[in-house]
Homo-oligomer: A and B are copies of this chain.
């Protein structure tokens, strides 16, 4: 029996919100279903944020409704910024919500117009409510390695936030390299410290490939025992601070690497390539996984 790694595809949320083209509700549903058909076990379907601030995420309630009507059974996740977002996600039937915490005040202010402490307070309140509602909560710590405004992140700050939300009963705590600035030694050190303290079960990582170190960081985290990763179909996404830079680590790449390393991801690579092709066709700008040329040639040979 090979060891399981849980991949959460965040392309329909983190990916699409960074794409210039805005997809229709139908297109978003089609993309989510294609990702699920490839066996990806968890999907971040959208966010309940202000449609003015993030137009690409308008109509996330309709995406949830369409998936529900279609009898969709894969665990769906919604990102929420505040109590209003939580209520909308609950009403839409989200089984899990992701809340964002901040390891820097600069990013907290810029992204959420709150201090780090205010973001923690809101998340603790929602976490208590979600427990009553039977909804799981993922606490994602943004800029866990570096912040574009405040510079390098002190690992001690991340360790304190993680400990607080583990103690409060978060179902997962995810370290997010929001701007793709982490290097693998940094990842190895921080994840090792957190796994030593909390075990790996509830810890996850979220990397961007901005500086081409996405898979190196995934491997560093795997070495520390991390077995939960966010990634994005076809590498959807981008970096608002570096035009043209790569987006989230591609699900295409991470699934291939982990499977080659002997892990069980539950993902069918042939069907994943179909979802990746769809993401590229729908957006017109998704780069595709960096390993895609090889992977497609390899799969064609296997089939031929």
Contacts and interface: CB of A to CB of B under 8 A. Distances in A.
Contact of A297 (B245, B262, B290, B293): B245
Contact of A260 (B183, B220, B241): B183
Interface stretch (A127-135, A161-169, A192-200, A205-213): A205-213
B212 A242 contact: no
Contacts of A245: 291, 293-294, 297
A243 B290 CA distance: 13
A257 B219 contact: no
Interface string A244-256: 1110001001001
A242 B180 contact: no
A218 interface: yes
A125 interface: no
A256 B211 contact: yes
Contact of A212 (B188, B244, B289): B289
Contact of A257 (B210, B216, B239): B216
Contacts of A294: 180, 210-211, 239, 242, 245-246
Contact of A243 (B209, B291, B293): B293
B220 A183 contact: no
Contacts of A223: 188, 223
Given A184-B219, A215-B216, A290 B290 contact: yes
A185 interface: yes
A261 interface: yes
A297 B243 contact: yes
A183 B257 contact: yes
Nearest to A298: B242
A300 to B, nearest CB: 10
Nearest to A297: B242
Interface of A: 180, 183-185, 188, 209-213, 215-216, 218-220, 223, 239, 241-246, 250, 253, 256-257, 260-262, 289-291, 293-295, 297-298
9 contacts: A211-B257, A211-B294, A216-B218, A216-B219, A216-B257, A219-B219, A219-B220, A242-B298, A245-B293
